[in-house]
Amino acid sequence: MDNAAAIGTTAAHGHAHEHAHHELGFWRKYVFSLDHKVIGIQYTLTGLLFLFFGFVLMMIMRWQLAYPMSPVPIIGGLLGTANAPGGIMLPEFYNQLGAMHGTIMVFLGVVPLAVGGFGNFVMPLQIGAPDMAFPKLNMMSYWVYFVGGVTMLASFFVTGGAANSGWTSYAPLAVTALGNGQTMWLIGMVFLITSSLLGSVNFIVTIVQLRAPGLTWMRLPFFVWAQLVTAFLLLLAFPPLEAAGVLQLMDRVAGTSFFMPSGLVVGGERLEISGGGNPLLWQHLFWFLAHPEVYVLILPALGIVGEIIANNTRKPLWGYRALVYSVIFLGFMSFIVWAHHMFMTGMGTTISAFFQTTTMIISIPSVVILTALLLSLWGGSIRFSTPMHFALAFLPMFGIGGLTGLPLGLAPTDIHLHDTYYVIGHFHYVVAPGTIFALFAGIYYWFPKATGRMMNDLLGRIHFWGSFICINIVFMPMFIQGLGGMNRRLYDGGAQYAHNAELLHWNVVIGMAAWTLALFQLPFIYNFFTSIRNGKPADRNPWDATTLEWTAPSPPGHGNFETTPVVYRGAYEYSMPGAPKDFTPQTEPERR
Amino acid sequence: MHSNAAEVQQHIRTYAMIGGALLVATAITVAVSYVHLGTAGNITLALVIATIKASLVAAIFMHLNHEKAWIYGSLVLTAVFFAAVLLLPVLAGSNTFGTHAAPWAMPAAAADHAGH
Amino acid sequence: MDMNIPYTAEARPDTGLTNGKLGIWLFLASEVMLFGALFSTYLILRVGSPVWPHGTLNVPLGTINTVLLISSSVTMVLAWAALKMNQFSRHRTYLIATVVLALLFLVNKFFEYREHLAHGTPPSASTFDAIYFTLTGLHGLHILGGVIVMVYFLGPGAALWRKNPEQFANRIEYTGLYWHFVDLVWIFLFPVLYLL
């Protein structure tokens, strides 16, 4: 065996020595691996765990909203008297649950799964590469994410509990928040952002430099294009939030006034600070990232759905070029729409008009992409596999999510809808039955590649139908509540306002649906873990797919491909006239 | 890319000369800052000189004068977004700066603000 | 365990790039956005304030630091050029010179901060002090990071020269790119904070 000293240090030091291939110990093989497949699985498992945890937080919140001021059943006693004396949660704790639900789902769950998990595992295989361009950087990205995640979780246990000023951490509320939770949130964010930045460099260099011979840009799977644009979003949009995080840390810890206005009175006392700061500055820097972030949430999902639709309609994607140009244009526009989250901050009409315009324009590529995916179904020979169920459902769900965004992007209507449950309905439709369904689709689809076994179909159908029905019952009523004027982030579900009286009963419906939704995840969890050992064995290409990952063994070994693939054709040659089979892999040479 | 030792040898003199130019430009920057050209004038001049210096560093020291398309493309994209994050927030608040509508202005506000 | 990743030392023909060259430029692009956000902060705070201090910073010290940093950029590019001409010991001389100049910069910074704090103007004293300390502090941390990398390449990292001189030269080039960027930020920081 090799003489590597401490765990991990060998991985961190100098460059690879030309060893003859030898067996790695447990730690180097499964924990501190440099292999993108292992790292991808690490991201996937960690991301799924955080997704589950964030979901649990919401289920607890939903109890308070459905039955305000009544003790939380089963776990009420476990929450602690600081958070929920007698099992009845305090408003401060409700706010912690809310802020951390959002933070965990977005930064610790969905993005690590969509980008760190799927991007890492699938993308190098789809481009015919042996690994990522910078394997050590890749490993570091995962562990920095892990540390950020632990920091976030630990914040529940510090003085004052976790951050409770929303996932948006607006100043001056977040700056003046008591305890250490918000400070830990900021520190955690610095880790998470660093992880993302390192990862995005890796993704872009890998896609640009390590494409297999013959894999020209217009032969790339749409999934890879989506990951490329996503990586650019992460690379260029995250740094301003990292800067802002440092500034808010300084406001909290060093007494600076970057975001603190003059003359601020808190708890009846004037604050002893210099003042002169600008709370809107935080909003600008935050949303400069957070808007592109929502495209980070959706783009990998669109990529996954594209792959699965082409494969399960046995025909090429409709409008491949339109898809590619749209996703690039979408990525670009996403950087210049952010202040549509700030229409209520008193900005002038000119600048408001600018952001409304860019926001309306950005809906165009979104619609083009959705339309192309829908048109891809036309004339297809549709195979209703489990991944296809989720991919098909994604389409109308994303449609609803996208369309409901339009009144939010126009200032006159946003005045009525801002900070109401309408907003919550809108973005959850895009992320929950949108992105998360696409991620489920991707798990069912690529599970055989990662494990060499298929997941169980029956359990998959139960998972799908139960989730699909419940998730719509959870989020559709929120549009009704929002249009009725029910504000978000109210710990009593809005009961204190007379105008909400007719809307409160929906909270019971939503709660029931949410808890049922949780139950329907059990077949998935069971399926996921038992199929690793007991699933039906899968060969290289159980789906009869065309892209490069399906030419490698299931699971692929060290270096992925026995010989470097050579690509001769585009990514979606399904049912090509004159071809012997209804699919022609990208590596199939031209027939003479 | 520089792979040729002879090519690199020729550039050594250039590096030293650009270095000298940068030092001269620094002296000019400092000297000029004591000349009163009005706020806008001073700012413009300082930033113009800084931009020239930065361009020299980028073009000659960082070899950007003969880089590849992917690098140029990424940098152009970055420049656009840099401009966005620099200017749009200020423009969004510009209708309130120097007025009483901006609560974060120092309370020393009288009718006349010696602002910029 | 090691993978044969192509284009680590030689350029990929169609892009003309090595992985590391593209990687470092992308990283620098993200750094442009990082400092961009801080310059945006400066702009908003200054434009929104009726008064803004002028002439409270130590211009001579700042000028000296500018000279030090520009000089270090020259020595850095010469350190790389020496490698391309196979002059390893000359490379080390220039790299050490770069480190020395950088450390002098940091020492000056230390005195400057001490002076500033002694005047009773810590970051919490005003938004000007806050942004001054933050901008120069973050920049200083970047200088420190660069020094650490250079010391690594003077120390254990230098072993790569024997094994793969082309790749070692590339790594020094990437370090140089980072270093020039740090110099570039200062070229803007200095007039903006000290002179305007």
> CA dist C163 to A413, C158, C169, Å?
65, 10, 12
- pLDDT category at C55 given cuts 50, 70, 90 is confident
Q: Residue B97: pLDDT above 80?
A: no
pLDDT at B102: 54
Please identify among residues 224-263 of chain A the ones whose CB lies closer than 8 Å to any CB of chain C: 235-240, 242-244, 246-247, 250, 254-258
Q: How far is C1 from chain B (nearest CA, A)?
A: 30
Q: How far is A452 from chain C (nearest CA, A)?
A: 22
- Rounded to an integer, the average pLDDT of A111-136 is 98
pLDDT at C1: 39
Q: Where are the beta strands (DSSP E) in A296-443?
A: none
Looking at chain C, which residue has its C-alpha nearest residue B63? C177
User: CB–CB of B12/B2 below 8 Å?
Assistant: no
**A529: Cβ–Cβ under 8 A, 6 or more apart, which residues?**
none
Instruction: Out of B5, B68, B104, name the one closest to residue C48 (CB).
Output: B104
User: CB–CB of A448/A554 below 8 Å?
Assistant: yes
Q: Residue A16: pLDDT above 70?
A: no
What mean pLDDT, rounded, does chain A reach? 94
Q: Residue A484: pLDDT above 60?
A: yes
Q: Residue A142: pLDDT above 60?
A: yes
Return the number of CB contacts < 8 Å for A and C: 148
* Measured distance CA(C117)–CA(C119) in Å, rounded: 5
Subunits next to A (3 or more Cβ pairs <8 Å) are B, C
pLDDT at A12: 38
- Rounded to an integer, the average pLDDT of A148-176 is 97
Which residues in chain B touch residue A208, judged by CB atoms under 8 angstroms apart?
70
Which residues in chain A touch residue C31, judged by CB atoms under 8 angstroms apart?
239
* Measured distance CA(A332)–CA(A329) in Å, rounded: 5
Looking at chain B, which residue has its C-alpha nearest residue A232? B74
β-strand partners of A583: A574
Subunits next to B (3 or more Cβ pairs <8 Å) are A, C
Query: Which tokens belong to A518?
Result: 């949780």
- pLDDT category at A21 given cuts 50, 70, 90 is low
Q: Residue A10: pLDDT above 60?
A: no
β-strand partners of A453: A537
User: Does the distance separating the beta carbons of C19 and A209 come in below 8 Å?
Assistant: yes
Q: Residue A251: pLDDT above 80?
A: yes
Instruction: Out of A236, A261, A345, name the one closest to residue B104 (CB).
Output: A261
- Rounded to an integer, the average pLDDT of A394-399 is 98
In a domain, C51, yes or no: no
- Rounded to 10 degrees, the C-alpha dihedral A248/A252/A256/A258 comes to 30
pLDDT at A4: 35
Residue type, B95: N
pLDDT at A1: 36
Say whether the peptide bond before residue A239 is cis (omega within 30 degrees of 0).
Answer: no
Q: Residue C125: pLDDT above 60?
A: yes
Preferred mutation among B81, B87, B90, B99 to probe A, highest tally of A CBs within 10 A = B81
Which residues in chain B touch residue A329, judged by CB atoms under 8 angstroms apart?
none
Q: Residue A5: pLDDT above 70?
A: no
> CA dist B7 to A384, A434, C64, C89, Å?
62, 55, 33, 20
Q: Which long-range contacts (CB under 8 A, 24 or more apart) does A488-497 make?
A: A488/A419, A488/A420, A488/A421, A488/A423, A488/A424, A489/A95, A489/A98, A489/A166, A489/A419, A491/A64, A491/A68, A491/A89, A491/A91, A491/A94, A491/A95, A492/A64, A492/A65, A492/A68, A492/A69, A493/A64, A493/A65, A493/A66, A493/A68, A495/A68
- Rounded to an integer, the average pLDDT of A265-271 is 92
Domain ranges across chain B: 1-67, 68-116
Q: How far is C84 from chain B (nearest CA, A)?
A: 5
Residue type, A132: M
Q: Residue A90: pLDDT above 70?
A: yes
CA A325 to chain centre: 22
CB atoms within 10 A of CB B25: 18
User: Does the distance separating the beta carbons of B74 and C48 come in below 8 Å?
Assistant: no
First to last CA, chain A: 50
Domains of chain A: total: 1
Least reliable range by pLDDT among A19-33, A273-287, C3-17, C40-54: A19-33
Q: What is the full DSSP assignment across A66-92?
A: HSTTSPPTTTGGGG-TTT-GGGPPPHH
User: CB–CB of A280/A344 below 8 Å?
Assistant: no
SS3 of A556-589: the string is CCCCCCCCCCCCCCCCCCECCCCCCCCECCCCCC
- pLDDT category at A28 given cuts 50, 70, 90 is confident
In a domain, A314, yes or no: yes
Q: Residue B100: pLDDT above 80?
A: no
* Measured distance CA(A65)–CA(A55) in Å, rounded: 15
Looking at chain B, which residue has its C-alpha nearest residue A262? B104
Which residues in chain C touch residue B42, judged by CB atoms under 8 angstroms apart?
195-196
User: Does the distance separating the beta carbons of A205 and C22 come in below 8 Å?
Assistant: yes
φ, ψ for residue A554, nearest 5 deg: -115, 105
Helix residue ranges, H only, A78-134: 91-103, 111, 120-126
Which one is predicted more confidently, C187 or A8?
A: C187
CB atoms within 10 A of CB C120: 8
Preferred mutation among B85, B91, B94 to probe C, highest tally of C CBs within 10 A = B85
Residue C141 at interface with chain A, using a CB cutoff of 8 Å: no
> What DSSP designation does B61 have?
I
User: CB–CB of A219/A567 below 8 Å?
Assistant: yes
- Rounded to an integer, the average pLDDT of C126-136 is 96
- Rounded to an integer, the average pLDDT of A173-193 is 97
β-strand partners of C10: none
β-strand partners of A574: A583
User: What is the ipTM metric for this complex?
Assistant: 0.96
Q: Residue A203: pLDDT above 70?
A: yes
User: Does the distance separating the beta carbons of C67 and B93 come in below 8 Å?
Assistant: no
In a domain, C11, yes or no: no
Domains of chain C: total: 1
**A168: Cβ–Cβ under 8 A, 6 or more apart, which residues?**
A102, A286, A290
User: CB–CB of A138/A202 below 8 Å?
Assistant: yes
* Measured distance CA(A236)–CA(A192) in Å, rounded: 15
- pLDDT category at A22 given cuts 50, 70, 90 is low
pLDDT at B6: 81
State the CATH number of the domain containing residue A431.
1.20.210.10
In a domain, A29, yes or no: no
**Axis crossing angle, helix B69-93 with helix A279-313, rounded to the nearest 10:** 130
Which residues in chain C touch residue B113, judged by CB atoms under 8 angstroms apart?
50
**Axis crossing angle, helix A181-209 with helix A91-103, rounded to the nearest 10:** 10
φ, ψ for residue A70, nearest 5 deg: -110, 150
User: Does the distance separating the beta carbons of B57 and C184 come in below 8 Å?
Assistant: yes
User: Does the distance separating the beta carbons of A236 and B81 come in below 8 Å?
Assistant: yes
SS3 of chain C: the string is CCCCCCCCCCCCCCCCCCHHHHHHHHHHHHHHHHHHHHHHHHHHHHHCCCCCCCCCCCHHHHHHHHHHHHHHHHHHHHHHHHHHCCCHHHHHHHHHHHHHHHHHHHHHHHHHHHHHHHCCCCHHHCHHHHHHHHHHHHHHHHHHHHHHHHHHHHCHHHHHHHHCHHHHHHHHHHHHHHHHHHHHHHHHHHHHHHHC
- Rounded to an integer, the average pLDDT of B88-115 is 61
* Measured distance CA(A261)–CA(A257) in Å, rounded: 7
Which one is predicted more confidently, B38 or B71?
A: B71
Domain that holds residue A224: 37-260+276-551
Angle ∠(A92,A482,A360) on CA atoms, nearest 5: 115
Q: Which candidate, A172, A267, A124, places its Cα nearest to that of A564?
A: A124
Q: How far is A138 from chain C (nearest CA, A)?
A: 13
What mean pLDDT, rounded, does chain B reach? 84
CB atoms within 10 A of CB A291: 23
pLDDT digits (tens, 9 = 90+) for C61-72: 999 999 999 999
Phi-psi map region of A39: left, alpha, beta (phi>0 left; psi -120 to 50 alpha): alpha
pLDDT at A145: 98
User: Does the distance separating the beta carbons of A134 and C31 come in below 8 Å?
Assistant: no
Residue B115 at interface with chain A, using a CB cutoff of 8 Å: no
* Measured distance CA(A108)–CA(A569) in Å, rounded: 37
Return the number of CB contacts < 8 Å for A and B: 61
In a domain, C133, yes or no: yes
- Rounded to an integer, the average pLDDT of A81-95 is 94
* Measured distance CA(A90)–CA(C188) in Å, rounded: 50
pLDDT at A23: 76
Looking at chain B, which residue has its C-alpha nearest residue C16? B68
- Rounded to an integer, the average pLDDT of A521-536 is 98
Q: Which helix (H) or strand (E) holds A270?
A: strand A269-270
User: CB–CB of A121/A36 below 8 Å?
Assistant: yes
State the CATH number of the domain containing residue C63.
1.20.120.80
Q: How far is C129 from chain B (nearest CA, A)?
A: 15
> What DSSP designation does A504 have?
T
Looking at chain A, which residue has its C-alpha nearest residue B93? A347
What mean pLDDT, rounded, does chain C reach? 95
Q: Residue C144: pLDDT above 50?
A: yes
User: Does the distance separating the beta carbons of A346 and B101 come in below 8 Å?
Assistant: yes
First to last CA, chain C: 55
- pLDDT category at A377 given cuts 50, 70, 90 is very high
User: Does the distance separating the beta carbons of A205 and C19 come in below 8 Å?
Assistant: yes
Which one is predicted more confidently, B98 or A519?
A: A519
pLDDT at B8: 82
Looking at chain B, which residue has its C-alpha nearest residue C13? B68
